[in-house]
Amino acid sequence: MRSWSKAMVGGFAVALAVAGCAGSGSGNDTGGQTSAPSGPRTLTVWLMNGSAPTVLTDGLHKEFQDSHKDVTVKYEIQQWNGIQDKLTTALASNDAPDVIEIGNTQAPKFASENVLEDLTANVGDFNGANWLSALKESGSWDGKQYAIPFYAANREVLYRKDLFEQAGITAPPTSREEWLAAIGKLKTKFGSDPDFQALYLPGQNWYTLLSFIWDEGGDIAKKDGTKFTATLDSPEAKAALDFYKKLVEESGTKAPKDADEQTPEQAGIYGGGKVAMFIGLPWEVGTAAKSDPSIKDKTSAFPIPSKTAGKTAPVFQGGSNLAIPANSKDKDLARDYLKLIASDKYQGEFAKVGMIPGTSKDVSALEADPVNAAMAKASVNGRAVPATPGWATIEAGQNPIKDLLTAFLTGAKPVDQATKDANETLNKAFSG
């Protein structure tokens, strides 16, 4: 036993020495603007599963390789599961990818850690004047731009045209009052069916709560330089909670109060045909259509109504950013690539498949489809969550805003206690 513990201590000392060196293999030789190497080059591009349509990447990579004869684009589609771990290790490797896509709520973490190339000087090259402000915000840290917008989407109210018509609702609601009135009419008409829900709204659809908070004039947190302080205990946030509760109560939704829109998948329930409205993303219609193909033609959308009649409520804009890892071996080439992908030509492909382009103001392709048009209309008022590295933890799970909603809706905690607790947890996450 004694000899063993001696060996252990010895081993520990060696480990300390070597663990000290671990990781030093990368980075040192790759930094800086080295002159472009001659001969055949490879540009490694990592985009996420299902993000850029194939039409976009096929055309883009052909054009890029035609204009860079010696370059091969190595395009690798990444899975969402475990992407954090994969990006972390890839960025630390001596063989880092040259262009990566990162979710916009993850972007601040990467930007603040100084592991991405500073792109501030190139904003103009990447269509900078036309950027979506929410995504610009998530890619910047301390006044510098580390990631550029790629594409985004925001939530809207998807509804059944046929049911609205039968209930005598002539035009989609444009204010909270009209929205509640529509719910009332739908219930009068279809309420006798026990499975009918005028609005499907799970207790933890926190993106919707964000819309209401912003609409009240409040916010999740106050920004001061790179510091954030949570403001979920503000009167605006409490008013937003009250309206959320009102929607849940008025609509008689059977959705669970302790789960979000994914468990179970709300689009699947909408596809079942007994739901008149839900708050979701445009492509969720496609998911619903897998259950019932005819539902696509019966569905339209309107922006989440504001408390001010005629306006639309601000919406959370979720999407992706593009960045160049600091360990990329060919950053100039990566810049050329970003320049091309940020051009109107390729950004237009996003609009065609129902997403909001990140670096182009041209959303005309979205107007053709009413579901996409409603999203485009609301997107003008797009907002972002606090651009702080601490947000990555909240996004990973244990979101205090979800817990706040459940506690408030089930009556487990009085509103003051619930908001105070959520505020504290949020502040803790911001500081960690």
Partner 1 sequence: MTSTVDTARSAGTPPPAARPGARRRARRPLSETALPYLMLAPAVVVMLALLAWPALQVLAISFRKLDLGELVRGEIKWVGFDNYTSILTDPEFWVIGLRTLLFTITVVLATLLLGLGIAVLMRHLSGWVRGVLQVCLVLAWATPIIATTTVFQWIFDQQYGILNKTLVLIGFDSFKGYSWFTSGTSTLAVIGLLVIWQAVPFIAFTLYAGLVNTPSDLYEAAAIDGASGWSAFRAVSWPSVRPLLTLVTFLSVLWDFKVFTQVWAIRQGGPDGESTTLPVLLYLRGIAASHFGVSAAVAVLMLVVLVAVTWRYMRLLVRSPETEL
Partner 2 sequence: MLHKSPAQRVALAVFGLVLAGFFLFPTYWMFTTALKTPAQILSPAYDLVPLSATLKNFVNAITKPGFTTFLTNSLTVTLGAVAFALVAGLLAAVPLARLRFRGRKGFIMLVLVAQLAPLEALFVPMYLIMRDADLLNSLWGLLLVYVAFTLPFTVWTLRGFVKGIPIELEEAAMVDGCGRWGVFTRVTLPLLGPGLVATSVFSFITAWNEFLYALVFMREKDKQTLPVWLSSFKTAFGTDWGGIMAASVIYAIPALIFFLLVQRKLVSGSTAGAVKG
**Are 340 and 64 in contact, with CB atoms under 8 Å apart?**
yes
156 binds partner 2 (CB under 8 A): no
Q: Which does 66 bind (CB under 5 to 8 A by kind): partner 1, partner 2, none?
A: none
Residue 251 has which token pair?
Answer: 């609509």
Q: Is 296 in the site for partner 2 (CB under 8 A)?
A: no
Per CB under 8 A, does 254 bind partner 1? yes
Contact partners, residue 34, CB within 8 Å, separation at least 6: none
Distance of CA 245 to CAs 95, 254, 417, Å?
51, 13, 16
Among the candidate windows 63-71, 84-92, 104-112, 122-130, which touches partner 2 by CB under 8 A? 84-92
Q: Which residues ranging from 9 to 28 are in contact with partner 2 (CB under 8 A)?
A: 19, 22-23, 25
Piece in contact with partner 2 (CB under 8 A), picked from 60-68, 171-179, 233-241, 267-275: 267-275
CB-CB contact of 278 with 264 (8 Å)? no
User: How many helices and strands (H and E) does the chain possess?
Assistant: 19, 14
Burial class (CB in 10 A: 0-12, 13-18, 19+), 123: middle
| 48 scored as a contact of partner 2 (CB under 8 A) | yes
How many binding residues for partner 2 (CB under 8 A)? Answer: 42
Distances in Å between the Cα of 238 and the Cα atoms of 193, 217, 234 are 33, 12, 6
Site for partner 2 in 25-44 (CB under 8 A): 25
DSSP string covering 313-350: --EEEEEEEEE-BTT-S-HHHHHHHHHHHTSHHHHHHH
* Alpha-carbon span 168 to 142, nearest angstrom: 53
* Partner from partner 1, partner 2, none contacting 290, C-beta within 5 to 8 A by type: partner 2
In the list partner 1, partner 2, none, the entry touching 201 (Cβ below 5 to 8 angstroms by class) is: none
Q: Which does 49 bind (CB under 5 to 8 A by kind): partner 2, partner 1, none?
A: partner 2
16 contributes a contact to partner 1 by CB under 8 A: yes
Other Cβ atoms within 10 Å of 128 Cβ, number: 17
190 lines the binding site for partner 2 (CB under 8 A): no
Which residues of the shown chain bind partner 1 in the complex (CB under 8 A)?
1, 4, 11-12, 15-16, 18-20, 22-28, 84-85, 88, 91-92, 109-110, 113-115, 254-259, 263-264, 326-327, 389-390, 392-393, 396-398, 402-403, 406-407, 410, 432
